């Protein structure tokens, strides 16, 4: 079984160390990259082929795209191909997760649960009829 690939987005160094230490103790979790405040964590996570991006919730007065995704209400994106023959559907849904910060196994299980919902398989392209 392949490990769950994790990218660490912007967060305070102490929090990054805590998460890194936790992940290193789990044989099925693997940190594959990190991004800083001046990098696009979504793009970096994709470049690292990460399954899960762990980042700190929005703390900036001017939220980034990622901050908007994390803190906003559910949003669906319907992205049309240039020729109008295909589209992709993306569903962004934030789900609160209560964590006991003293329970490392609970945090690791929450990361596994986040990745497990991705294993439903690719939805693929949606064929549409041009108008």
- Give SS3 for 70: helix
Which residue reads 């986040």 in tokens? 114
pLDDT at residue 90, as a whole number: 80
State the CATH number of the domain containing residue 28: 3.40.50
Q: Which residues contact 45 (CB under 8 A, 6 or more apart)?
A: 7, 9, 33, 35, 53
Residue 26: predicted pLDDT: 94
Element (H, E) at 92: strand 86-92
Residue 41 domain boundaries = 4-127
pLDDT at 58: 66
> For the chain, how many structural domains are there in total?
1
pLDDT at 130: 42
pLDDT of amino acid 56:
82
Distance CA 67, CA 63 (A): 5
Mean pLDDT by 10 residues, the chain (131 residues): 90 90 94 90 92 80 68 77 86 79 82 79 47 40
Q: Tell me how long the chain is.
A: 131
Residue 55 is classified by DSSP as: -
Task: Give me the pLDDT at residue 35, please.
Answer: 92
* The predicted structure's pLDDT at residue 98: 82
Q: Are 6 and 30 in contact (CB under 8 A)?
A: yes
pTM across the whole model: 0.74
Cβ neighbours for 88, distance < 8 A, ≥ 6 positions apart = 78, 79, 123, 125, 126
């Amino acid at each position: 079984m392949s490990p769950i690939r994790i990218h660490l987005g912007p967060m305070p160094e102490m929090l990054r160390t805590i998460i890194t230490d936790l992940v290193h103790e789990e044989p099925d979790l693997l940190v594959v990259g990190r991004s800083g405040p001046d990098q696009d964590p979504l793009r970096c996570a994709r470049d690292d082929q990460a399954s899960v991006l762990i980042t700190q919730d929005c703390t900036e007065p001017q939220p980034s795209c990622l901050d908007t995704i994390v803190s906003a209400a559910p949003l669906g994106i319907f992205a049309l191909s240039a020729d109008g023959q295909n589209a992709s559907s993306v569903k962004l849904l934030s789900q609160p997760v209560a964590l006991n910060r003293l329970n490392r196994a609970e945090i690791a299980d929450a990361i596994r649960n986040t990745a497990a919902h991705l294993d439903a398989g690719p939805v693929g392209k949606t064929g549409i009829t041009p108008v």
